[in-house]
């Protein structure tokens, strides 16, 4: 997997601020606050992210992967309302805090997000991120599902909401926070959606430069633990160049995959590395509890 969940979500919503000509990846963009450094995943000029000279509402996409015919004639997006602008700025601060591992600030900002339909995408993502920061996987899945259920397949945020639901549901399933019955199928369907495409605010269907690979934890749920480990290792390598929280969370995913593969010793080492990056992180503690109650851990103890 070439990029993290945060990067994929930013890539899908990168055109939200296209109306004012700002780079959606920069300081004024919808997902600019937690953007990675020059050496990180999704750096300038990489797939799904603009190079230094890219401009316009489709700047969040690699032009080599787009069917951009007719984009010059696309109608301008409506002006951003005061409510949406406030939600966007709060969201930027929240994602910055999440990347730094500041769970308290993430939770506080999520609680203060403005109401209203214009702020709903930002508010929903903020609430899900707050639940994720606290390792409350059942709540994260419920929030994502509730938002998805309110949308329809033609809604501009449909594919993003469906991917968000799929990602958090897979995490909740592996952590044992929700029952398998019905939820595994729903998560599979969400992640198997045509996510190689993005519905531009103009209504055009744009294709991403690269198809996404299977989520490592979904591979684990399918009994392909070794493949899950290899996929998780790629995520760790990518996130190591990014934020502390992204790196620590990726190590937790790797620990879960390693445990499923029966390698409890290396799984514990991955969690020790995550703890060194961000001591006391709820996600690390929850993952440790999960792997220590697994057959791989209990059989090793015996």
Q: Do residue 269 and residue 155 come from a single domain? A: no
What number is the average pLDDT over the span 43-53?
33
pLDDT at residue number 81: 86
| Residue-wise pLDDT tens digits, 93-148 | 999 999 999 999 999 999 999 999 889 989 999 999 999 999 999 999 999 999 99
Among 207, 224, 255, identify where a domain stops: 207
Host domain of residue 259? 216-301
Mind listing the pLDDT tens digit for each residue in 165-180?
999 999 999 999 999 9
Instruction: Please give the full DSSP string across 55-121, using - where no structure is assigned.
Output: -STTTTS-GGG---TTGGGPPPPPPPPHHHHHHHHHHHHHHHHHHHT-HHHHHHHHHH---STTTHH
| Residue 64 confidence class, pLDDT cut points 50, 70, 90 | very low
Residues 158, 236 share a domain? no
Regarding whether 255 and 194 lie in a shared domain, the answer is no
**Nearest alpha carbon to residue 34 among 102, 80, 84:** 102
| Three-state secondary structure call for residue 206 | strand
Contacts of 201 (CB under 8 A, 6+ apart): 15, 16, 18, 57, 77, 156
For the cut 90, the answer to whether the pLDDT of residue 32 exceeds it is no
Q: How confident is the model at residue 59 (pLDDT cuts 50, 70, 90)?
A: very low
Q: Give the distance from CA 79 to its chain's centroid.
A: 27
pLDDT tens-digit readout, 205-254: 555 444 446 789 999 999 999 999 999 999 999 999 999 999 999 999 99
- The reply to whether 153 and 285 lie within a common domain is no
Co-location of 187 and 257 in the same domain? no
Q: What is the pLDDT of residue 294?
A: 83
Do 139 and 24 have their domain in common?
yes
> Looking at the structure, do residues 196 and 273 belong to the same domain, yes or no?
no
Q: Which tokens sit at 23?
A: 């780079």
| Residue-by-residue DSSP string for 244-292 | HHHHHHHHHHHHHHHHHTT-HHHHHHHHHHHHHHSTT-HHHHHHHHHHH
Residue 161 and residue 180: Cα distance in Å, rounded?
Answer: 21
Which of 162, 177, 207 lies at the terminal end of a domain, its last residue? 207
* Same domain assignment for residues 154 and 273: no
pTM of the model: 0.70
- Are residues 188 and 104 both part of a single domain? yes
Q: Are residues 83 and 172 in the same domain?
A: yes
pLDDT digits (tens, 9 = 90+) for 115-128: 998 899 899 999 99
Residues 143 and 190 in one domain: yes
Percent of the chain scoring above 90 in pLDDT? 52
Domain boundary among the residues 159, 177, 207 is at 207
Around Cβ 192, how many Cβ atoms within 10 Å?
Answer: 12
Total of domains in the chain: 2
């Amino acid at each position: 997997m070439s990029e993290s969940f945060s990067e994929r979500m930013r890539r899908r919503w990168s055109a939200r601020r296209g109306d004012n000509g700002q780079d959606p990846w920069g300081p004024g963009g919808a997902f600019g606050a937690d953007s990675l450094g020059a050496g990180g995943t999704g750096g300038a000029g990489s797939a799904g992210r603009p190079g230094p000279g890219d401009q316009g509402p489709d700047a969040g996409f690699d032009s080599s992967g787009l069917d951009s015919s007719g984009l010059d004639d696309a109608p301008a997006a409506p002006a951003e309302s005061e409510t949406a602008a406030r939600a966007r700025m709060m969201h930027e601060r929240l994602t910055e805090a999440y990347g730094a591992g500041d769970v308290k600030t993430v939770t506080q900002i999520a609680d203060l997000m403005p109401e209203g339909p214009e702020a709903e995408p930002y508010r929903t993502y903020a609430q899900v991120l707050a639940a994720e920061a606290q390792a409350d996987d059942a709540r994260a899945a419920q929030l994502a599902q509730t938002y998805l259920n309110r949308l329809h397949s033609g809604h501009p945020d449909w594919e993003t909401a469906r991917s968000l639901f799929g990602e958090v549901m897979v995490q909740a399933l592996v952590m044992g926070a929700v029952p398998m019955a019905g939820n595994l199928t729903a998560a599979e369907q969400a992640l198997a959606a045509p996510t190689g495409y993005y519905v531009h605010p103009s209504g055009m269907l744009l294709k991403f430069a690269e198809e996404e690979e299977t989520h490592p934890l979904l591979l684990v749920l399918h009994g392909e633990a070794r493949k899950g480990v290899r996929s998780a290792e790629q995520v760790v390598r990518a996130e190591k160049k990014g934020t502390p929280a992204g790196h620590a969370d990726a190590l937790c995913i790797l620990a879960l995959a390693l445990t499923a593969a029966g390698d409890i010793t290396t799984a514990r080492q991955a969690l020790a590395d995550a703890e060194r990056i961000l001591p006391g992180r709820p996600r690390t503690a929850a993952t440790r509890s999960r792997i220590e109650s697994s057959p791989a851990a209990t059989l090793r103890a015996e």
